[in-house]
Amino acid sequence: MHGESFKGLLNPGKIDWRKNFVYEGLGEYGGAAPNLTVFDGRYRYIQTFSDSTLRDLVFEELYDNLHDPGELNNMANTADQKNKIEDFKKVIQNHKNEILKQ
């Protein structure tokens, strides 16, 4: 199983914990297309792909869960979010390279 141990969280004191979480929605259950999602505690960025090869990106989403908990306002195409999206893209690409070995 990949990921980081949370054993250190059980001990008192400060621990350097990860800054985001990558979720793999790689099954095609319920009609959902394969996707990879990054969540950093506030923002959720989603890349949806045409198939399980994860090569053909067909849709991007970015939501601010603090101000839009219902995820009704997709901010992926707003210019002021460009840097945040680029950072999230790097996280997903790293996940694909290091974890999924693509």
User: Tens digit of pLDDT for each residue in 46-69?
Assistant: 999 999 899 999 999 999 999 999
In a domain, 1, yes or no: no
In a domain, 94, yes or no: yes
pLDDT value for 70: 97
How far, CA to CA in Å, does 55 sit from each of 43, 50, 51? 23, 8, 8
In a domain, 9, yes or no: no
Q: Given a cut of 80, is residue 101 above it in pLDDT?
A: yes
In a domain, 7, yes or no: no
In a domain, 5, yes or no: no
In the DSSP assignment, the letter for residue 92 is H
Give 3's pLDDT tier (boundaries 50, 70, 90): low
Mean pLDDT of 82-86: 96
In a domain, 90, yes or no: yes
In this structure, the dihedral spanned by the alpha carbons of residues 18, 21, 26 and 30, taken in order and rounded to 10 degrees, is 150
Range of the domain at 49: 18-98
In a domain, 2, yes or no: no
**Is the pTM above the cut of 0.85?**
no
In a domain, 3, yes or no: no
Q: Given a cut of 90, is residue 29 above it in pLDDT?
A: no
pLDDT value for 22: 94
Please give the tally of structural domains in the chain. Answer: 1
